[in-house]
């Protein structure tokens, strides 16, 4: 195996050793005889003929004619596939790909699919029942979604920031989010307890992410800085899966990280913000929110005074004191994250979408923007230019008691 399954680390009290929880099985099937992996398959209803789209990871130099083996009402049918490798591979050997097959008219319900490179090998040993997986999104939907907003957290690896996790989750709730999907590779025991708590509540779905057990994943974007065969833990693959997984479950999906908060400045929550944006921009596909860095090295010692002392015993960063923003230059390109209507997206990427029905529009940062509280090289901080921005504190009256309650319940603190 490529990843170390166990890492020992001192626990909260410093007296015990902790072991990282590593996911061992998840949605990842190797294509027989090829350097290709299937994550999940969905019915694609938006093309002129009914298609099955499989989110996959392929070795880019290996161009193969794939086939879908469809299980339709108990009958096996083979259909030739098209391979489409996404352009945002950052020159790594492996990249995100769509493997698509038109569903033959004789197949009314393509319930299961397996991806192969051979067409007629039924009954041979290579095709076993494990190669097949259920096809999602059988029924399209245009209204009555289970959730208004789903947040897709595409990377969770060796995660130990308990306080940051609970603060993010409770902020998401205040913003109107009803589901958080976490593509999880590994985390520490206290983090796992918090995740278990939210899973029991029905607020979090864990998608076990085992890509690093099959492929040497990079820990970053730049091939020169981060050795490996696939970009940042396969983040783009996870984002694409998330868009399709929640396409008919969620009215909108937000593609962001746990240390990022998209905050409206005039409204209280996304529930109010998004209809406003749709009206202002006459656009319904998706919105880009400008990234603003709040360095962890800068903190206010004034407010909020009511931060409970017992928070200090948890690993991780309390986001509340970090209210100094590095100004963005309006004349240069500023990065962003998106909230999109998943039914209008074909290909997602880290900052926005690669392929969609009508693109995304940039939101005026005076209406809403992204608060990104992170470590930031202090040499890049010009102290006299930072802007004090306490928008986050407008939420603390609700946020602080909610966070305390979760910490108590999830971690059994008196
Ligand atoms: C379809 O293929 C699978 C896998 O090879 C096999 O187990 C099953 O018996 C086949 N079904 C039919 C009806 O041929
Ligand atoms: C969003 O904010 C409005 C007030 O601005 C409030 O009435 C509504 O209940 C909030 N929605 C959610 C989901 O929190």
Residues 173 and 109 in one domain: no
Q: Is residue 57 part of a domain?
A: yes
What sign does the dihedral 344-350-355-360 (CA atoms) show? positive
Atom of ligand 2 nearest to the CA of 174: 14
Atom of ligand 2 nearest to the CA of 270: 1
Q: Is residue 339 part of a domain?
A: yes
Residues 164 and 100 in one domain: no
Ligand 1 centre to CA of 215 (Å) is: 30
Q: Which residue puts its alpha carbon closest to atom 2 of ligand 2? A: 268
Q: Judge contact between 337 and 254, C-beta under 8 A.
A: yes
Report how many domains make up the chain. Answer: 2
Residue 267 structural domain: 147-411
Residues 171 and 104 in one domain: no
Ligand 2 contact, 18 CB (< 6 A) = no
Q: Is residue 39 part of a domain?
A: yes
User: End of a domain among 92, 109, 136?
Assistant: 136
Query: What is the bridge-based pairing of β-strands 286-295 and 361-362?
Result: parallel
The pLDDT, as a whole number, for residue 378 is 81
Query: Which of these ranges, 41-45, 98-102, 232-236, 329-333, has the smallest mean pLDDT?
Result: 329-333
Ligand 1 centre to CA of 122 (Å) is: 7
Ligand 2 contact, 271 CB (< 6 A) = yes
User: End of a domain among 103, 136, 169?
Assistant: 136
Ligand 2 contact, 264 CB (< 6 A) = no
Ligand 2 contact, 268 CB (< 6 A) = yes
Q: Is residue 73 part of a domain?
A: yes
Q: What is the pLDDT of residues 70-87, one digit of tens each?
A: 999 888 888 999 999 999
- pLDDT surpasses 60 at 4: no
CATH of the domain at 299: 3.90.550
Q: Is residue 260 part of a domain?
A: yes
Q: Which ligand has the nearest atom to the CA of 122?
A: 1
Report the percent of the chain where pLDDT is more than 90: 69
Q: Is residue 118 part of a domain?
A: yes
Residues 359 and 225 in one domain: yes
Q: What is the pLDDT of residues 319-358, one digit of tens each?
A: 999 999 999 988 888 999 999 999 999 999 988 888 888 8
User: End of a domain among 136, 169, 194?
Assistant: 136
Q: Is residue 8 part of a domain?
A: no
Residues 124 and 201 in one domain: no
Confidence of residue 9 (pLDDT cuts 50, 70, 90): very low
Residues 102 and 178 in one domain: no
CATH of the domain at 131: 2.60.40
Cα(179)–Cα(203) distance, integer angstroms? 5
| pTM to 2 decimal places | 0.92
Residues 252 and 131 in one domain: no
Q: Where does residue 301 rank: exposed (0-12), middle (13-18), buried (19+ CB within 10 A)? A: exposed
Residues 113 and 177 in one domain: no
Contacts of 60 (CB under 8 A, 6+ apart): 85, 89, 93, 94, 95
Residues 124 and 177 in one domain: no
Ligand 2 centre to CA of 269 (Å) is: 6
Q: Which ligand has the nearest atom to the CA of 128?
A: 1
Residues 131 and 151 in one domain: no
Pocket test for ligand 1, best of 122, 124, 132 (most atoms within 8 A of CB): 122
Averaged pLDDT, 94-112: 94
Ligand 1 centre to CA of 91 (Å) is: 39
Q: Is residue 40 part of a domain?
A: yes
Cα(119)–Cα(127) distance, integer angstroms? 11
Cα(375)–Cα(198) distance, integer angstroms? 27
Atom of ligand 2 nearest to the CA of 176: 13
Ligand 2 contact, 133 CB (< 6 A) = no
């Amino acid at each position: 195996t490529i990843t170390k399954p166990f890492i020992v680390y001192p626990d909260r009290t410093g007296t015990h050793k902790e072991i990282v929880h590593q996911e061992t099985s998840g949605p990842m099937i190797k294509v027989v005889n090829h350097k290709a992996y299937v994550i999940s398959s969905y019915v694609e209803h938006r093309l002129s003929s009914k298609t099955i789209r499989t989110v996959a990871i392929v070795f880019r130099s290996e161009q193969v004619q794939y086939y879908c083996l469809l299980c339709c009402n108990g009958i096996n049918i083979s259909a030739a596939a098209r391979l489409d490798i996404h352009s945002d591979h950052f020159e790594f050997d492996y990249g995100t790909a769509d493997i698509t097959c038109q569903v033959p008219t004789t197949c009314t319900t393509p319930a299961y699919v397996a991806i192969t490179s051979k067409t007629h090998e039924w009954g041979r040993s290579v095709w076993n029942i494990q190669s097949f997986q259920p096809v999602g999104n059988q029924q399209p939907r245009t209204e009555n979604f289970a959730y208004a907003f789903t947040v897709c957290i595409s990377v969770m690896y060796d995660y130990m920031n308990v306080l940051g996790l609970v603060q993010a989750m409770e902020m998401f709730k205040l913003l109107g989010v009803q589901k958080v999907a976490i593509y999880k590779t590994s985390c520490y025991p206290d983090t796992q307890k918090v995740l278990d708590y939210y899973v029991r509540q029905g607020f979090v779905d864990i998608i076990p992410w085992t890509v690093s057990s099959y492929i040497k994943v990079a820990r970053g974007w730049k091939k020169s800085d981060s050795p490996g065969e696939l970009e940042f833990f396969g983040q783009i693959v996870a984002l694409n899966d998330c868009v399709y997984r929640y396409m008919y479950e969620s009215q909108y999906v937000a593609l962001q990280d746990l240390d990022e908060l998209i905050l409206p400045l005039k409204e209280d929550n996304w529930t109010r913000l998004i209809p406003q944006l749709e009206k202002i921009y006459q656009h319904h596909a998706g919105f880009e929110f400008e990234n603003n860095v709040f360095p962890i090295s800068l903190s206010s010692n004034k407010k909020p005074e009511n931060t409970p002392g017992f928070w200090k015993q948890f690993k991780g960063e309390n986001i509340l004191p970090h209210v100094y923003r590095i100004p963005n230059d309006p004349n240069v390109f500023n990065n962003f994250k998106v909230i999109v209507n998943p039914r209008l997206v074909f290909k997602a990427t880290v900052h926005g979408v690669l392929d969609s029905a009508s693109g995304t529009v940039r939101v005026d940062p005076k209406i809403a923007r992204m608060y990104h509280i992170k470590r930031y090289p202090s040499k890049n901080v010009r102290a006299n230019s930072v802007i004090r921005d306490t928008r986050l504190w407008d939420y603390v009256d609700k946020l602080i008691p909610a966070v305390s309650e979760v910490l108590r319940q999830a971690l059994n603190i008196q």
